[in-house]
Amino acid sequence: MSALYDSLAEYLAVRRALGYKLEGTERLLGQFLDYLDANGADQITVEHALAWAALPGRGRHWHAMRLGAVRGFARYLHEVDPRVEVPAADLLPDKSGRAVPYLYTDEQILALIEAASTLRIAHKTATFQTLFGLLAATGMRIGEALALDRADFDSDAGTLTVRNAKFGKSRELPLHPTTISALTRYLRRRDRPRPVGAAEALLLSSVGTRVLVADVQTSFRALRARAGILPRSAACRPTLHSLRHSFAVRTLLDAYRTDGDPASRVAVLSTYLGHVNPGKTYWYLHAAPELLELAGGRLERHLGDRR
């Protein structure tokens, strides 16, 4: 079994050299190798992979994700050892599909920020209000926002630097003046705790540590209920990541309404969101009826001009 653990370390190193982070994949494959070890197996087989992937968990999507992690590792090993069995792509398929993005209105975002004022600790209130506003105003990922250090904010230049984000990429985000003012006020609060650790996080918990994603998710669920932000359907639920979708859609709506160039705005938006290519950005745009209406209107005018 030690050979498989060594091969896993090599596999992760190769993929990380290509820019992948793979924290979840490393955890899953480590658990799979522990499963093989407990069952006295020293080789990956389809039978073992299916048995492990289908262990009771969080449903079909979870099973498919677990088997997918094993499939990638097995495919890597199969190149040098044909005895390694690779699970077929149609085993435990993920048929759940992506959730429908929840697009927030401006009123809902303001209600969410206002709901944070009900938190008992004043600094925590300020932190969550700043976080929600920052996510809505920049469309950054929640992990990127919580990873920001104080030094990443340049109030003079009006920028935030997002470092080592997805695929190890970094980017600089120009900020709206209102966002700059909000961040400056937050950093100047007299009740800001003394930071714990070498690097001072931009968003600090009440005890001076970096804010944890799990804590944000727990508070967000309570605050969205207080704000009256309810699911629109079983497949369309308000999430923190939906603030990113909302930012992308608002950006394109602005391009249409100001008679700008939506096509060129997509390229700028893709860079701002930290996507590898504009194709990744279109997923954030396809589910907006208002956006489709404006695009359809422009198409009708274009066809009318041609006639």
Is the Cβ–Cβ distance between 171 and 274 less than 8 Å?
yes
Q: Which residues pair with 233 in a beta bridge?
A: 236
Q: How far is CA 262 from CA 247, 265, 293, in A?
A: 15, 5, 14
Please, are residues 123 and 191 in contact by the beta-carbon 8 Å criterion?
yes
Q: Distance between CA 161 and CA 172 in Å, rounded?
A: 4
Q: Catalytic one among 71, 210, 224, 275?
A: 275
Closest among 220, 249, 44, 75 to 146, alpha carbons compared? 220
Q: Could you say which of 15, 124, 163, 166 is catalytic?
A: 166
Question: pLDDT tens digits, residue range 247-282?
Answer: 988 888 787 777 666 777 777 888 888 877 666 676
76 is catalytic: no
- Please give the Cα distance from 228 to 231 (Å, whole number): 10
Catalytic residue, chosen from 244, 245, 250, 272, is: 244
Q: What is the mean pLDDT of the chain?
A: 86
Distance CA 50, CA 46 (A): 6
- Quote the pLDDT of residue 254: 80
- Residue 193's pLDDT is 94
pLDDT for position 299: 46
Q: Which residue out of 66, 123, 141, 245 is catalytically annotated?
A: 141
Q: Which residues of 184-198 are buried (b: 16+ CB within 10 A; e: fewer)?
A: eebbeeeebeebeee
pLDDT values of the chain reduced to their tens digit, one per residue, 307 residues: 578 999 999 999 988 887 778 888 999 999 999 999 999 888 999 999 999 998 886 678 888 889 999 999 999 999 989 999 999 988 877 765 566 778 899 999 999 999 999 999 999 999 999 999 999 999 999 999 999 999 999 999 999 999 987 767 889 999 999 999 999 999 999 999 999 877 799 999 999 999 999 999 999 999 999 999 999 887 789 999 999 989 988 888 787 777 666 777 777 888 888 877 666 676 666 656 665 555 555 545 544 555 5
- Residue 150 annotated as catalytic: no
Query: Alpha-carbon distance 202 to 210, whole Å?
Result: 8
Cα–Cα nearest to 144, from 127, 166, 115: 166
Torsion over CA: 64, 69, 70, 72 (sign): positive
Q: At what angle do helices 23-38 and 2-17 cross, to 10 degrees?
A: 170
The yes-or-no answer on residue 48 being catalytic is no
Q: What is the pLDDT of residue 302?
A: 47
Specify whether 237 is catalytic.
no
Beta-sheet strand order (sheet of 171-174): 153-154, 159-162, 171-174
In this structure, are residues 20 and 52 in contact, taking their beta carbons and an 8 Å threshold? no
Joined tokens for residue 283: 């997923």
- Can you tell me the distance from the alpha carbon of 209 to that of 63, in angstroms, rounded to the nearest whole number? 35
Q: Is 61 among the catalytic positions?
A: no
Tell me, yes or no, if 189 is annotated catalytic. no
